[in-house]
Amino acid sequence: MKEFNINNLVRPNVAGLKPYSSARDEYQSTGSEMVFLDANENPFQTDVNRYPDPQQRNLKAELAKIKSVSTENILLGNGSDEVLDLLFRAFCEPGIDNVITLPPTYGMYKVLANINNIENREVLLNSDFEPKVEEILNSVDQNTKIIFLCSPNNPTGNSFSEENISEILKKFNGLVIIDEAYIDFSAKDSWLNKLEDYQNLVITQTLSKAYGMAGIRLGICYASGEIIEILNKIKPPYNVNELTQSRALNRVLDVQRVNSEISDLLNERDILSEALVQVGFIEKIYPSDANFILLKVDNANKRYEQLIQKGIVIRNRTTQPLCENTLRFTVGTGEENRKLIEALKNIE
Ligand SMILES: *Cc1c(COP(=O)(O)O)cnc(C)c1O
């Protein structure tokens, strides 16, 4: 295989692109009292009358510190969904290029492929929900730009083996995106500390799950400086708003609270798993590295409806490949989980 070269991957129009230069890009505050008459803002104070920092410097600096990476390795977006869309738009030529995804997995990869008119080659996971590495590599052709690995995987809950992931990273010459939305619940290490070992590694994380901030929309991309530079060229200048930046920073600074919530949820996950064993119609409880549990039941559609009747909403995954008659339960508070167990024990 040829050497990895990011210039062979990026779309030609993106490579030649000059990004929009905003008022806040052209003059950055140096701390001295300046009169800002450059961005056509309303000068009267509303707390948000000024445009936000397009490079989110304060938030990135804090993330860089806690994740031990450089700020040049970080791009922030309006949820991971925007980050993933930017990756498609930077690297995949509509109507020509393709990506590889591994169902059953997060549905957005396929949706984004369709929106961007990119062929989505699906290689199912094996029966242990691990990637079939050989089959994946055999599906690669010269127009394959990205392989999406979701680990821990949604909806199955497992993390992929380190061996399988590193083999794909080593043998594929395009980008390997590891979606680590659930990494904070996992006993396994993030791939972040391998960022310098693989030029083609892209990691996405989010504040939507363990950090408890789904409502503010903050997604994070970690990758080489080269890749981040390309994504920066095409991102909308003010893609992360001021309120999101400040709420995210406060939350990221509150590591202790976040960690204590995570350990509560992990504890609840164990309690829930044990209680589920006693429910007759549950046939299998899949091990989870995330804040949800996938179950195989006798009849998913029926059990889903019964739980709705009892006021509990879960996710029916029965239509997903390899997931016939499965239901996905998010781990809630102790009280919510007790209600769930109570409901499960009382349906026939
Ligand atoms: C929930 C989830 C996300 C989160 O996306 P955001 O846009 O950041 O809220 C990303 N990937 C996976 C696999 C998820 O399950």
Residue 175 sits at φ, ψ, to 5 deg, of -85, 140
Q: Report pLDDT for 70.
A: 98
Mean pLDDT per 10-residue interval, the chain, length 348 residues: 83 91 80 86 95 96 97 98 98 98 98 98 98 98 98 98 98 97 97 97 98 98 98 97 98 96 98 95 97 98 97 97 98 97 93
Tell me the DSSP string of 56-77. -HHHHHHHHHHHT--GGGEEEE
Q: Which fold has domain 256-345?
A: Aspartate Aminotransferase, domain 1 (3.90.1150)
Q: Report pLDDT for 343.
A: 96
- CA–CA dist 17, 24 (Å, integer): 19
Domain ranges of the chain: 6-253, 256-345
Q: Is the CB of 79 under 6 A from ligand 1?
A: yes
Tell the residue nearest (CA) to atom 2 of ligand 1: 181
> Whole-prediction pTM value?
0.96
Q: Is the CB of 244 under 6 A from ligand 1?
A: no
Strand partners, 330: 292
Q: Report pLDDT for 201.
A: 98
Q: Is the CB of 101 under 6 A from ligand 1?
A: no
> Encoding tokens for residue 68?
């031990």
Q: Report pLDDT for 340.
A: 96
- Relative to beta strand 292-297, strand 119-122 is unpaired
179 alpha carbon – ligand 1 mean position (Å)? 8
Task: Give the CA angle between residues 80, 82, 87 to the nearest 5°.
Answer: 95
Measured from the Cα of 106, ligand 1's closest atom is 13
278 alpha carbon – ligand 1 mean position (Å)? 31
CATH architecture of residue range(s) 6-253? 3-Layer(aba) Sandwich (3.40)
The answer to whether the CB of 97 falls within 8 A of the CB of 118 is: yes
